[in-house]
Amino acid sequence: MFCVIINLYHVHLQAIRGQHEILMKALLLEEAGLDPKIVSRDLPIPILGTRDVLVKVKACGFCHHDALVMSGVLRRGIDLPLVLGHEVAGEVAEVGSEVSTVSLGDRVVCLPSNSCGSCQECRRDREDRCTNKRGLGHGIHGGFAEYIKVRESTLLTLGPQIDWIHACLLACPIGVGLKAMDQAAQIKAGETVVITGAGGGLGIHILQATKDRKAKVLAVTSSPKKVALLRDLGADQVLIRGELDFSEVVLALTEDRGADVVLDTVGSVLFPSTFRCLGRNGRYVALGEIAGMEVSLNLAELIFRSSSVIGSVGVTKMDTDKAIQLVTQNKLSPIISHVFPWKEILEARKLLQKGEVLGRIVLQPNNF
């Protein structure tokens, strides 16, 4: 019965397309700034190319990236007006004539960038390095809309076990964190790992995955309210940012050796404390930058500690597939602080800026 309904819906959409432009509701950022203008508008439902897929959006995470675009801090490659949102889960509503890997009614999660599926990087399963990619909610319209158009190479299918609000976090932030851990940091069992912003959307999922790799986790947070949950999720120690520099605590807890790995989801505002946490042969991985400031680094310290500073961005299907496995096997729980309708997007931004979000805020279409 379920499939019949989906197919009738599809026939309906296709039939109407032949005669008229059909419209969808979308949340459009028209002006960025301290007081951004973001409004619900009617936009045409996108027309598909042969390898495109139309996804009916069921849930979309609200990421720091969205907040930075709204405030105008992030401008490069952005053309307003724009539909934000790159953490998308939904249902396949229509497929292009050459699409072969997904079908109508499939439950899917999108990678955060629309990869081409045919360049050399995509053929090596490195969708994160696709030379033709464009970010959802950045270079092209994203997921705060009733429908989103993506290439089929951007989609992974899901079983029924993971519900929509959890599914939308599988690629970003969960897969993004797994890529940083496995490709950049290459964490090994028994290593000591410092995670900054441990209560945020990236940190809280990295923390769980790091515990699954049998590493020792020192979680850094600015919020005493988040301590109990971080402990419950496996943090060996929770360090609250305050009067005492957390790098002093890390050195005390490691008998002055420092950490093997720092996974920094916060960025410049915590530098150089984050770098001071790092021990000999340590790896400092930058995977979040919330302020966009410059930092100063003493190269002699880098040399004498034989340490590495590595940036990590994006996510592949392989990382997202690992996220799906971890969540399905109950080894990692997507953490959601609030589920809001679209119209509450400014409230979501306010909470994120205040640091009051534990995990992620998810937005759903108003009529869901």
Q: Up-side HSE of residue 56: CA atoms within 13 Å toward CB?
A: 15
The whole-angstrom separation of Cα 359 and Cα 205 is 8
The C-alpha atoms of residue 167 and residue 59 are separated, in whole angstroms, by 8
Nearest to Zn ion of 278, 361 (CB atom): 361
3-state secondary structure of 201: coil
Q: Which is nearer to Zn ion, 115 or 221 (CB)?
A: 115
Q: Judging by beta carbons within 10 Å of its beta carbon (0-12, 13-18, 19+), is residue 17 exposed, middle or buried?
A: middle
Whole-number minimum distance, CB 323 to Zn ion, in Å? 13
DSSP letter assigned to residue 292: -
Q: What are the helix (H) ranges across the chain?
A: 2-17, 64-71, 120-123, 164-167, 176-179, 203-212, 227-232, 246-253, 273-276, 299-304, 317-328, 345-353
CA distances from 269 to 15, 274, 275 (A): 54, 10, 12
* 198 versus 277: smaller Cβ distance to Zn ion: 198
Question: Minimum distance from CB of 317 to Zn ion (Å)?
Answer: 12
3-state secondary structure at position 364: strand
Question: At closest approach, how far in Å is the CB of 188 from Zn ion?
Answer: 27
CA 227, CA 218: separation in Å to the nearest integer?
Answer: 12
Q: How far is the CB of 205 from Zn ion (least distance, A)?
A: 11
Tell me the chain's radius of gyration from C-alpha atoms. Answer: 21
Residue 147 CB, shortest distance to Zn ion, in Å, is 20
> Is 130 or 162 the residue whose CB approaches Zn ion more closely?
130
- Residue (54 or 170) nearer to Zn ion, CB: 170
Write down the least CB distance from residue 290 to Zn ion, Å.
12
Strand partners, 29: 38, 82
Pick between residue 265 and residue 274 the one whose CB is nearest to Zn ion. 265
- Closer to Zn ion by Cβ: residue 122 or 357: 122
Judged by the rule CB under 5 A, the positions of this chain that interact with Zn ion are: 63, 115-116, 119, 122, 130, 172
Min dist CB 127 to Zn ion, Å, is 7
